[in-house]
Amino acid sequence: MSKVFQIFEHPELGRRAVKVGFSWPAWFFPPFWPFIKKLWFLGLGCVAVMVLLAIGEELAGGPSNLWWSLFDLGAMAAISILYGMCGNRWIENSLLARGFYPIRIVATRTRGKALDVALGPVPIEAPRLSPVRRYGPLATVLSYTLILLGLRAAFVAYYIPSPAMLDTLQINDRLFVNRFAYAFDNPMIGDIVVFRVPESIPGYDPNKRIWIKRVVGVAGDRVAIENGRLLVNGNPVETPEFLARNRFFSKLQGGAVFEETLVPEGHVLLFGDNSGNSYDGRYWGPIEDDRIIGKAVFRFWPPLRFGRIEGESVLPLAED
């Protein structure tokens, strides 16, 4: 592919060819020109190390969020690309400050070839950058940055610290939560959601304010448990299939029993999939639906369980 170069000349230092348009950051420091390839591979190595460190920190339970780390890395890359777009202009200014002056523009595949062509006669019409070549890098950077910002706003990563959602979600599973899932829609029975725990529930722990459960009832539903089956409005739930085969317990710790509950307007009722070991809405009732942060949509760790989240019963109803 042909590239456009501006040729500069100095009475004593000879000629230099500077590519017009986009340039990667490692290319815009003249002392580094002989080491372009080495710097390129070094840069790729640094990026790989940063990604591995970000993932390692997340898996180790560090304070940073994997998605935040990847976002930060992407933002750094976007900034570097912006620098690269300005790099050739910086080189030109550096050459002008050192006494070089522009003599012509040529279009060739390499910088060396550009210098060779520059020795020939000056063309009547100098080559020009096409709109795609001139504005393409800027459009790419802006799109890249907007996509990163959009993804960062829509998705956030969480990990599972308890057995309440076994076997669907296992301890230390990592998953992405779509924070815009209910921007134009309402929660549905069967959705797995991340939510802010009401401060009014018994045993509220301010250090564990974010929980994950499954929606079993929405506004207007009457939810009950009978013979291990989940009933909504008097009928056994058949959809999604997981709710039809998972066993739910109405007997609670301390001798209490879960009674049929009417879900008020603007509320949802949430149960854990591991009903025998889950502190959920059976104990503290429905919660406001505006406490929902988002819908769990995808598991990214561990690798063997990578993919869309499927409901799996730790104690299927059919076994009894």
- pLDDT tens for each residue of 59-69: 544 444 555 55
Give the confidence band of 32 by pLDDT, cuts at 50, 70, 90.
Answer: very low
Q: Is the pLDDT of residue 168 over 50?
A: yes
Give the pLDDT confidence score for residue 134 in this predicted structure.
Answer: 59
Q: Give the homologous superfamily in CATH for domain 160-319.
A: Umud Fragment, subunit A (2.10.109.10)
Q: Is the pLDDT of residue 310 over 80?
A: yes
- pLDDT tens for each residue of 199-226: 999 888 888 899 999 999 999 999 999 9
Numbered ranges of CATH 2.10.109.10 in the chain:
160-319
Instruction: Say which residue, 29 or 286, is predicted with more confidence.
Output: 286
Q: Is the pLDDT of residue 77 over 70?
A: no
Instruction: Say which residue, 104 or 134, is predicted with more confidence.
Output: 104
Give the confidence band of 28 by pLDDT, cuts at 50, 70, 90.
Answer: very low
Instruction: Say which residue, 189 or 185, is predicted with more confidence.
Output: 189
Burial class of residue 319, CB neighbours in 10 A (0-12, 13-18, 19+): exposed
